[in-house]
Chains A and B, each alone.
Chain A
Amino acid sequence: MGTKNEYLELLQTVARVNTIQQQLINTRDALDKELETYKRLSKLFTKIPSLKTRTSILKFVAEGIIDILEVEGAVVCLSNTDDSHYEFQFEGNVSEPQVSEMTTSLKQICKPDNFAKAQIFDSFQLGEVPHMGSVNQGIVFRIMETKYNYDLILWGFTSKQNPQLYKTLNNRDLMVFDILAQNTIIILNWLFDQQTLAFQLEKIKKSKRELNRLSLIATKTKSGVSITDKSGYITWVNKAFEDTTGYHLAEIVGKKPGQFLQGPLTDVETTRKIAECIRAGKGIITSITNYTKNGEILYILLEIIPTFDESEELDGFIALQQDITEQQEQMFAINEAKTSLLLSNDELKKTNSELDLIVYRISHDLRAPLVSIKGIVDLITSNAAPESNQEFLEMINISVNRLDDTIQGILDFSRNARLQVETEEVEVRTLINEIIDQIRYIHTHEISVYVELKNVDIIQTDRERFRTLMINLITNAFKYCRKNVESYIKIGITGLEKKLLIEVEDNGEGIAEKHLEKIFEMFYRATTSDMGSGLGLYICKEIATKMNGTISVESEKNVGTKFLVELPFARNQKTTSN
């Protein structure tokens, strides 16, 4: 019996030892589990940084709550503090609408100012809360984070469906949940920092790319680019600017462009407008005449663009200078050519008109004497009155002279129109005397000819034109002298500083006032008695014009006439005065 009792006691002892051993194992397991829990926590938060988005992080945390606390379901809800943006992720055998309703209810009972620390709710506490009737036990953490202004709520729960499968949450779980929640906040803040940083980095990259592009444009463009501060002082110029203007950055930095680019032809009004725009911080597009370092003219199309910093304060200007010198010069050339063309056109029109007139007059004035001559020849041939032949011959002579005059006039006109002005040394007195002798030979009236030369002896002029001019003027004086007075012709040629004055004055018939305006027109005759071609004075005018001079007339009927010609004068070194 004693042995049996001892044996039974031994059995009981073995059973007790067994139980104690199991308790030790349980304790060891609890420690293992503790270690395992913290390992899982560590693993969770080691993995999270590899997740790139907020959604994936929240989802991962929700899974982590289940994995670490071994609850049935988990929710992570993140919203802005004003609840305007709301995101939640959940895990477990619950539907989204259920979770949404439960979370909303939970927020009512878990005010953030009472929290930032985990708390356990049991079914008794949750029983009266809407939508929380199916929850057996819940563990909640809520915080209002001020740095990024968000409201974070994490919670895990077991349902009433199979509560025995899940452990009862305890203080140890509170501590673990606290750690999990705090680490979630750190991770979220890190994510927001990363996103902000990423955003800023992207912004910087974008700015850098843009800067690179702009720098490339600025350095490679053929247009000059200059950058100034807000007062207009140069801080940078590109190579094109340097090449175009001849100024290097080092010598112009800190200066205003106007200080060295502008010159005599720079329009003052333009520079004033530019200065005004600079002062007002406005842009302007204008053309301006600048100068290179070598003093060459630069025609520039200038565009000034103001630049602003991030707070929209003016911080400088960018000026784009497009060299349009070549275009401008081409424009000038075009304008000149245009003017020349217009002049040529006018000349052509005039010539054309003159030709028309010439053709008309030639056909008339040449034909008329010829008709006359023919008529007279017919008369002579018919020998109707031989004693009249002398008269007839005289008449023929007159007609021939007329023809000759006309032809000569045409020749003189043609020569003047056709030939270039060519200057040579002309002995004035000799030429005048030759002309007078020639005319006296033709015109036999008694006329006193006075020649006065002042400061001229030998001049540089177009001999043939000068000669034709003088011939026509002197011939006219001879032609239109009055028979019943002591006729005279005064020829005065005076050499002034830059012009030659020629005066041919007579006391002849004079020209009626009504004719004075037209006296220089082609084929214009002031008198019907004149048998001349009507080209003489026209030719004088053309010659004067061709030689860049002028001709004018003063006349009074039955008193006399004075022609005044002014020509550009180049005094010869051999001039002597009379």
Chain B
Amino acid sequence: MLKFYSASTRVVNTQRAILECLEIAINNEYDRANLLIYNSAIGHDFNEILRYTKSLIPHATVIVGSGCGIVGREGVSETMKDMGLMVVEGKDFVVSSVNNITGNNAKEKSVELAKGLLTDGRSPSLVYFLASGIDIDTNGCIAGLEECLGDSTTIFGATTSDNMKGVISFQGIDDRLMTHGAIAVGFCDPELKVITQASHGFRAYGVPMVVTSASGNVIKELNGRPAWTEYTSKLNLTVDVTCGETIPVGALAERLPDDLAKEYGNSHILRVVTKHEGDSMFYATAVEEGTELWLTVRDEELIFSDMDRMMASLSAKLTQHEIKAVFHADCLARGKFLFNKVMKEELVNKMQQPLHRNGTCPPWLGMYGFGEFARLGGRNTFHNYSTAIYVLYK
């Protein structure tokens, strides 16, 4: 039976941050830790996170992913030195990792990753997935994982990011730090279940742009014109802006089928552009030519009401269950780039409050990354610009 403990901190020194998290999470009882999952802001030394943790707890598996900020039981923070930790006690899990996963090999690498989860004969029913958020085909990742694990295996997690610069992100396991890696943790505890839900609160508007030329997750042309130029002009920006500057305003939306729209609470699912090379834009997932992409606007009222709707739905499903832990992936665009501190904290409170038990927030590890995985219409789906909540329960 797996047990979960979490902590988060804003201590600047990497080693002291680790020590503080371990003290808060497991009261320095290192023997209890079998798996440690760190989400950390880009300012920390990731090699040191892995090395130092292993020096303290050599018997545990250590995983780290970078992001733009952290959400924990202690609250939300988006600085260069945030660190969140989920400690897992118990041995009902398997871990696998691959390196050099990109947009054009995502599926193959994900198959390899999934096979790694099956090597000891156990079959995980839910998979926590961390992968590089820069240049990746997330639909390919899902396809690869489902090919080996089955589409009934719930995939939840996030794509890692930096501080919205789109320069670099980190994924690490034990003694290996990667910048284009993917890590999967398969939970094999038969009593453990997960429920996932996501919401975004953006509204698509206007006439959509049409993908007229694409290769995998790279869009080369929109509306018959160079993609980046078309995209930025639609946003009323110049071509020399960075991806980071387009992210807050440039969420692209794809229409959802009605049934999924109903479940989602929104007619569109959003996608982010994390990188561009010349006029080619790196999309969040593989895209087919002819796909319509709408521009969007933030609707703060919708964001909050959608959050309420999502949490109400989750709560209703969990009333009879014991919540063991909550993983949380939030799009970095929804952090300080979208909301001021007060609003952001209010939003996080709206996520956490409904899941309290006996006045206490369950163990919580959340990250502001480039994208989120959550089920939609019963299918593992990649989301952007959303808040995705993954509640592990018994």
A residues adjacent to B (C-beta < 8 A) = 7-8, 10-12, 14-16, 18-19, 21-22, 25, 28-29, 32-33, 36, 63-64, 66-67, 70, 72, 91, 93, 162, 164-165
Do A18 and B235 form a contact, CB below 8 Å, given A7-B207, A63-B13, A93-B45? yes
- Is B43 close to A, CB under 8 A? yes
Cα of A94 to Cα of B263 in the assembled complex, Å:
50
- B11, B12, B206, B207, most chain A CB atoms within 10 A: B12
Query: B133 CB to closest chain A CB, in angstroms?
Result: 14
- Judge whether A66 and B80 touch: CB under 8 Å: yes
**Is B106 at the interface (CB under 8 A from chain A)?**
no
Q: Does B98 sit at the interface, judged by CB under 8 A?
A: no
A10: chain B residues at CB < 8 Å are 206
B198 to chain A, nearest CB (A): 23
How far, in Å, is A396 (CB) from chain B's closest CB? 130
Residue of A nearest to B336 (CB): A29
Instruction: Determine the main DSSP class of B at the interface with A.
Output: loop
Cβ-defined contact, A15 with B295, below 8 A: yes
CB closest chain-B residue, reference A15: B236
CA distance A19 to B248 in the complex (A): 9
Which chain A positions have C-beta within 8 A of B165? 164-165
B101 CB to closest chain A CB, in angstroms? 20
Tell whether, in the assembled complex, residue A22 and residue B249 are in contact, meaning their CB atoms are under 8 Å apart: yes
Of B123-131, B285-293, B337-345, B371-379, the one touching chain A: B337-345
Given known pairs A14-B297, A15-B236, the reply for A67 and B207 (CB within 8 Å) is no
Q: Is B139 an interface residue (CB 8 A)?
A: no
Complex interface: chain A residues within 8 A of B163 (CB): 165
* Partner pick for B248 among A12, A22, A64, CB 8 A cutoff: A22
Q: In the complex the two chains form, is A66's CB within 8 Å of B337's CB?
A: no
Give Cα A21–Cα B42 distance, bound, in whole angstroms: 28
Q: Are B341 and A25 in contact (CB under 8 A)?
A: no
Check: B321 CB closer than 8 A to any chain A CB.
no
Contact with A along B191-220 (1 / 0, CB 8 A): 000000000000001110000000000000
Which residues of the other chain, B, contact A63 by a CB distance below 8 angstroms?
A: 11-13
List 17 interface pairs A-B (beta carbons < 8 Å), by A numbering.
Answer: A11-B205, A11-B234, A14-B297, A15-B295, A16-B236, A18-B295, A19-B236, A19-B237, A25-B338, A28-B340, A29-B336, A32-B340, A63-B11, A66-B43, A67-B81, A72-B43, A93-B48
- A70 touches which of B13, B80, B236, B337 (Cβ 8 Å): B80
A21 to B297, CA, bound (A): 10
Kindly state the separation between the CA atoms of A156 and B305 in the bound complex, as whole angstroms.
43
What is the bound-complex CA distance between A22 and B43, given in angstroms?
Answer: 26
The CA-CA distance from A28 to B337 in the complex, in Å, is 10
B1-53: which have CB < 8 Å to A? 10-13, 42-43, 45, 48
Contact B236 A18 (CB under 8 A): yes
Is A15 a contact of B13 with CB atoms below 8 Å?
no
- For B13, list chain A residues within 8 Å (CB): 63, 91
A121 vs chain B, min Cβ distance (A)? 21
Chain B residues with Cβ under 8 A from A12's Cβ? 236
Chain A CB within 8 A of B302 CB: no
| Complex interface: chain B residues within 8 A of A15 (CB) | 234-236, 295
Cα distance, A172 to B179, chains bound together (Å):
33
- B330 close to A (CB within 8 Å): no
What is the bound-complex CA distance between A459 and B249, given in angstroms?
A: 148
Q: Which residues of A contact B315 (CB under 8 A)?
A: none
B148 close to A (CB within 8 Å):
no
Q: Is the CB of A164 within 8 A of B167?
A: yes
Report the minimal beta-carbon distance from A442 to chain B, rounded to whole angstroms: 127
- 13 more contacts with CB within 8 A, not counting A8-B207, A14-B205, A19-B249, are A12-B236, A18-B235, A18-B295, A18-B297, A29-B337, A32-B341, A63-B13, A70-B80, A91-B12, A91-B13, A162-B168, A164-B165, A165-B162
Are B167 and A162 interface neighbours, CB within 8 A? yes
User: Does B79 make an interface contact (CB < 8 A)?
Assistant: yes
B73 to A: closest C-beta gap in Å:
21
* Known A-B contacts A18-B235, A19-B236; A11 and B340 likewise in contact (beta carbons under 8 Å): no
Nearest A residue to B244, CB-CB:
A164
Rounded to whole angstroms, the CA-CA distance of A566 and B165 in the bound complex is 136
Q: Are A32 and B237 in contact (CB under 8 A)?
A: no
By a CB distance below 8 angstroms, the chain A residues around B298 are 21
Tell me which residues across on chain A come within 8 A of B42, comparing CB atoms: 165
| Residues in B whose Cβ lies below 8 Å from that of A91 | 12-13
